[in-house]
């Protein structure tokens, strides 16, 4: 009697979970949430399709896990509050030409209108970007000021997608710095 053939790859729950996340991140960024199937994600991760449900509950749960794992914007927001406006301006300027290594923002931009994940995207954008940005600010209306700054850098990404990439100039960074200063100012009259 022959012994059963074992999988060449050892079972490693966390490694499989990470492969699924990585495959989903790449596919969602390239095609958007609506166009990607669980079957495509599982195939790209070389994993059983049932594991998506086991580890993430659903495709929407997997998308939520992908959003949670994106540090790019947090690297811009976190840090010295004095340099925040300049970091935001440089980040937005970099997005004029290409995404600064943020497949998640591309996913959000491409997928935010999908009814299945609209609430999830709204919650993640609020908790990950607007709330974190608000924490960096002092004075009145921090949430409103953070929303305005968030709208600017999301708008730059949308412009790049609709019009095409443009090389940012030092003048663009200066203008964006002035825009972010206005967005984040304690008094709109400042």
Looking at residue 189, its pLDDT comes to 65
Distance CA 152, CA 84 (A): 14
Shared domain for 86 and 177, answered yes or no, is yes
Dihedral of CA 77/80/81/83: which sign?
negative
Shared domain for 82 and 56, answered yes or no, is no
Which structure tokens are listed for 52? 């998506």
Orientation angle between helical segments 103-111 and 118-125, nearest 10 degrees? 140
DSSP annotation of 130 = I
- Domain boundary (37, 68, 99) is at 68
163, HSE (Cβ side, Cα atoms, 13 Å):
12
First to last CA, the chain: 83
How far, in Å, are 96, 133, 140 from residue 118 at the CA level?
25, 21, 29
Looking at residue 102, its pLDDT comes to 62
Looking at the domain assignment, is residue 4 inside a domain? no
Domain range spanning residue 23? Answer: 13-68
- The ranges of the chain with pLDDT < 50 are 6, 8
Looking at residue 1, its pLDDT comes to 55
- How many residues belong to the chain? 190
CB 38 within 8 A of CB 49: yes
Shared domain for 85 and 117, answered yes or no, is yes
Looking at residue 4, its pLDDT comes to 53
Looking at residue 183, its pLDDT comes to 95
Distance, C-alpha 77 to centroid of its chain: 13
Looking at the domain assignment, is residue 89 inside a domain? yes
Using a cut of 0.75, tell me whether the model's pTM lies above it. Answer: no
Looking at residue 164, its pLDDT comes to 81
Looking at residue 113, its pLDDT comes to 77
**Number of folded domains in the chain?**
2
From the list 17, 150, 21, the residue with the least C-alpha distance to 29 is 21
Looking at residue 144, its pLDDT comes to 95
Looking at the domain assignment, is residue 22 inside a domain? yes
- Domain boundary (68, 98, 131) is at 68
Looking at residue 104, its pLDDT comes to 66
From the CA atom positions of the chain, what is the Rg in Å? 20
Looking at residue 182, its pLDDT comes to 95
């Amino acid at each position: 009697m022959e012994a059963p053939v074992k999988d060449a790859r050892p079972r490693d729950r966390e490694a499989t979970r990470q492969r699924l996340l990585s495959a989903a991140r790449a596919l969602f960024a390239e095609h958007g949430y609506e166009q990607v199937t669980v079957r495509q994600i599982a195939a790209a991760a070389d994993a059983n399709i049932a594991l998506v449900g086991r580890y993430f509950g659903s495709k929407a749960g997997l998308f939520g896990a992908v959003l949670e794992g994106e540090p790019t914007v947090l690297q811009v927001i976190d840090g010295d509050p004095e340099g925040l406006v300049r970091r935001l301006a440089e980040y937005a300027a970099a997005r004029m030409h290409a995404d600064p290594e943020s497949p998640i923002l591309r996913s959000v931009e491409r997928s935010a209108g999908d009814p299945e994940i609209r609430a999830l995207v709204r919650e993640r954008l609020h908790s990950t970007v607007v709330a974190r940005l608000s924490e960096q600010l002092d004075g009145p209306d921090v949430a409103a000021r953070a929303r305005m700054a968030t709208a600017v850098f999301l708008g730059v990404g949308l412009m790049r997608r609709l019009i095409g990439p443009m090389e940012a100039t030092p003048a663009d960074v200066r203008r964006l710095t002035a825009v972010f200063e206005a967005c984040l100012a304690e008094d709109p009259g400042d």
